[in-house]
Amino acid sequence: MTLLLVSPQAHAEASGGARKVTSVYTVPPEIQALMTRPADSAAFTFTDPVDALLRLLLLSPMGADARNLAFFPEPGDLSDYCNGARMQRVHDSLPRGAAALTCAIFFDEINRDQKGFNTGDGAIVVGGFFRAQIRESTDAKVSFGTFPKVHFPPENRKLDKVKLFMKKMRHHHLKAIYNCFTRFNKRGGAIVHLQVPSHAIPPAQQTRPLIFLLSP
């Protein structure tokens, strides 16, 4: 089903409560025995990154300036996401009037308190529809979750079984993130009215609202 967002409903939808997702990974008893703080599961609760992307597009100051946006393939030397054959192939596979809701996700240490005593491995999404120079701005990206910490004493962290457990747990949580993108595409994407006027998109596309589908 297509999610229809029309202004001002689009902004009301985006500024409302964000969809939260929780991924739970079971900790085997043999791994619990090696932990400093034994727990039978590790839960990762995060904001749906698709919701975060739409908020960047519909609410951020960067999304209000057409010069910052690039939704469709453009000729160039691969200096940006909108350049190159891959972006052209993606858009050739979409319906007329549709655009790929492109993004990049990276992981970095973030502070959980003001003084930096409590840190975590954060997941951050960047709007790929912003041009390269704009993606450097903090207004073009947002942290949507922090991976759970699992504590082991130093002598146990290097054990192969612990390393394998940590790897499997991370893959489990990454799959939960990926499933958010799959869910969005299966629902038919989203039709939105942008903050910018119609001249921000190519003339051939101006007769229809933009239908955003996530790039595979």
pLDDT tens sequence across 53-99:
999 988 889 988 888 988 888 888 888 888 999 889 888 888 777 78
Number of domains in the chain: 1
Find, among 162, 167, 143, the residue nearest to 32 by Cα: 162
Strand partners, 98: 211
Query: What is the pTM (predicted TM-score) of this model?
Result: 0.81
Structural domain boundaries, residue 35: 3-213
Which letter, b or e, does each residue of 153-174 get, where b requires 16 or more Cβ atoms within 10 Å of its Cβ? eeeeeeeeebeebeeebeeebb
| Encoded amino acid at 53, one letter | L
Phi-psi region of 59 (alpha: psi -120 to 50; beta: other; left: phi over 0): alpha
Which pLDDT belongs to residue 101? Answer: 86
pLDDT band at 209 (very low <50, low <70, confident <90, very high): very low
**pLDDT tens-digit series, residues 101-115:** 889 999 987 665 565
